Amino acid sequence: MSAADKTLVRIHVNGEWREATVEPRTLLVEFLRDHLNLTGTHIGCDTTYCGACTVLLNGRTVKSCTLFAPMADGAEITTVEGLSSNGALHPVQQAFAECHGLQCGFCTPGLLISTLHLLSKTANPTDTQIRKALAGNTCRCTGYQNIFKAVRMAVGLMEKR
């Protein structure tokens, strides 16, 4: 593909404008990882199933392997790298760490983003709302009980903010 066939994509990622010129078929997850070096967003499947690639796009969760980067041109994106500030963990990250809400950690970035989205919409979710919010995120280490506890702890930590 010649340079003329490539397209400039500009995205507001974690509070700053980032851009790269890419092939139009570039997936958003590839754009984030390979062109912006934001490798916290993971690729765990090729069937849009696992949710390891979840990011916030204009305030909504999306699986970043399911859309092309040019489709996100001009959008606001939050990746897992955008959660901590000045070296301090976000309450959601802190809760996952304290509750051992991870084992290998591969699914964790997506779960953190889905949890953040849930708590931004519903400050004190029911158990059913938590399960529904995380239904698109698969943990192959299957440690779901501690993930669930972590979300509950995050609710408390967010209230104290």
| Residue 49 within binding range of ligand FES, rule CB under 6 A | yes
| Residue 123 within binding range of ligand FES, rule CB under 6 A | no
> Using only C-alpha atoms, what is the Rg of the chain?
16
How far from the centroid of its chain's Cα atoms is residue 12's Cα? 15
| Residue 119 within binding range of ligand FES, rule CB under 6 A | no
Q: Considering only residues 7, 39, 94, 103, which one is a binding residue for ligand FES as defined by CB under 6 A?
A: 103
What are the helix (H) ranges across the chain?
28-30, 91-98, 108-121, 127-133, 144-160
Q: For residues 112 and 93, is the Cβ–Cβ distance under 8 A?
A: yes
Residue with tokens 């092939």: 23
Q: Considering only residues 24, 100, 104, 131, which one is a binding residue for ligand FES as defined by CB under 6 A?
A: 104
| Residue 148 within binding range of ligand FES, rule CB under 6 A | no
Residues 2-21 vs ligand FES: string with x where CB under 6 A?
A: --------------------
Region from 8-16, 49-57, 70-78, 89-97 binding ligand FES, contact rule CB under 6 A: 49-57
| Residue 159 within binding range of ligand FES, rule CB under 6 A | no
φ, ψ for residue 31, nearest 5 deg: -60, -45
Measure the CA–CA gap between 44 and 106, rounded to whole angstroms. 8
Region from 6-14, 17-25, 103-111, 152-160 binding ligand FES, contact rule CB under 6 A: 103-111
| Residue 56 within binding range of ligand FES, rule CB under 6 A | no
CB of 4 to ligand FES, least distance (A): 30
Measure the CA–CA gap between 140 and 130, rounded to whole angstroms. 18
Q: For residues 69 and 28, is the Cβ–Cβ distance under 8 A?
A: yes
Residues near ligand FES, by CB under 6 A: 43-45, 48-53, 63, 65, 102-107, 139-141, 143
